């Protein structure tokens, strides 16, 4: 199975999450290991196979769905190999071809508003946890200052939902993969404000407080769709 990486997100310090689009079926595939989380040593910048828009051969990955995370595939790191990143035009066209204008079109009727500006599915509800969203209205990217530490966030709308959600795009964080990279956030925010076309990789978290919370995994800009962490 070969996938092109379209979701590359930070997690707790020392770990990240990677998912991509099957180059044959165009279905989403999330990479998991028996231990549960991918260590940062598997990022390309540290000699591993994972980076944005890289084509990764997963070998004999084992499908192990865990609703709503139906995309989970257990991988054997020793079996994987990475191919240089996809051509920018091809990758952008692929993102556009699998993206939709509605969040419910991705996550189904199980996605509901929670509180004033969040959305989630109830624990173990729903059939998918990954997708690509192409907003019809210009979103806003910023850093929220809070007691627990600064957090990258995005305001976005799709005609039904008007949300403020966490952004876990690992490329928007510094080398510790935890502290927001203010220069990177400022540059991407400026491109969005200028009206550049974009596709958002979106996903649902693992269960927390009884819900799988909606977040923005990655921001893909038309001018640099294959922008890599490494």
Q: What is the mean pLDDT of each run of 10 residues along the chain (230 residues)?
A: 96 94 97 88 92 93 96 84 85 98 98 96 97 96 93 96 98 94 98 98 97 98 94
Examine the domain organization and report whether 178 and 108 are in the same domain.
yes
Q: Which of 181, 194, 201 is nearest to 223 (CA)?
A: 194
Give the separation between CA 33 and CA 59, rounded to whole angstroms: 13
Does residue 228 form part of some domain? Answer: no
> 3-state SS string over 184-228?
HHHHHHHHHHCCCCEEEEEEECCCECCEEEEEEEEEEECCCCCCC
CA gap 48, 70 in Å, rounded: 25
Looking at the structure, do residues 97 and 209 belong to the same domain, yes or no?
yes
Residue whose pair of structure tokens reads 């939902």 in the numeric block: 161
* Contact residues for 83 (Cβ-Cβ < 8 A; gap 6+): 2, 54, 55, 56, 57
Q: How many domains does the chain have?
A: 2
pLDDT in tens, 21-62: 999 999 999 999 987 789 999 999 999 999 999 999 998 899
Residue 227 lies in a domain: no
Give the integer Cα–Cα distance in Å for 74 and 66.
12
- The residue among 89, 110, 126 that closes a domain is 89
End residue of a domain, out of 71, 89, 107: 89
Please give the pLDDT value at position 39.
Answer: 93
Tokens of 114: 């929670």
**What tokens appear for 161 in the block?**
């939902």
Please indicate, yes or no, whether residues 43 and 117 belong to a single structural domain of this protein: no
Under 8 Å between Cβ of 214 and 119: yes
- What's the pLDDT at 83? 78
CA gap 42, 25 in Å, rounded: 25
For 67, residues 6+ apart whose C-beta sits below 8 A from its C-beta are 124, 125, 126, 127
Q: Is residue 117 located within the same domain as residue 191? A: yes
> What pLDDT score does 27 carry?
98
Contact 118, 137 (CB under 8 A): no
Strand partners, 25: none
CB atoms within 10 A of CB 129: 26
Question: In terms of domains, do 61 and 135 share one?
Answer: no
Nearest to 93 by CA among 2, 227, 222, 228: 222
55 and 113 inside one domain: no
Domain co-membership, 123 together with 136: yes
Cis peptide before 68 (omega within 30 of 0): yes
Q: Is the same domain home to 195 and 207?
A: yes
Domain that holds residue 78: 2-89
């Amino acid at each position: 199975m070969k996938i092109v990486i379209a979701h590359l997100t930070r997690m707790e310090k020392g770990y990240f999450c990677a998912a991509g689009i099957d180059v044959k079926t165009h279905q989403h595939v999330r990479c998991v290991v028996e231990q549960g989380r991918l260590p940062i040593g598997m990022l390309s910048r540290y000699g591993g196979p994972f980076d944005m828009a890289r084509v990764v051969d997963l070998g004999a990955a084992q499908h192990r769905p865990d609703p709503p995370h139906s995309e989970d595939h257990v991988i054997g790191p020793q079996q994987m190999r990475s191919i240089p990143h996809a051509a920018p035009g091809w990758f952008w066209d692929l993102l556009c071809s699998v993206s939709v204008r509605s969040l419910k079109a991705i996550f189904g009727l199980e996605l509901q508003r929670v509180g004033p500006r969040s959305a989630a599915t109830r624990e173990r509800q729903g059939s998918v946890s990954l997708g690509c969203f192409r907003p019809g209205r210009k979103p806003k990217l910023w850093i929220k200052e809070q007691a627990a530490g600064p957090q990258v966030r995005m305001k976005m709308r799709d005609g039904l939902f008007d949300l403020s959600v966490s952004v876990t795009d690992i490329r928007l964080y510094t080398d510790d993969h935890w502290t927001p990279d203010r220069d990177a956030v400022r540059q991407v925010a400026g491109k969005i404000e200028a009206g550049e076309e974009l596709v958002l990789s979106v996903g649902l978290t693992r269960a927390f407080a009884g819900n799988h919370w909606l977040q923005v995994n990655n921001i893909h800009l038309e001018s640099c769709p294959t922008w890599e962490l490494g």
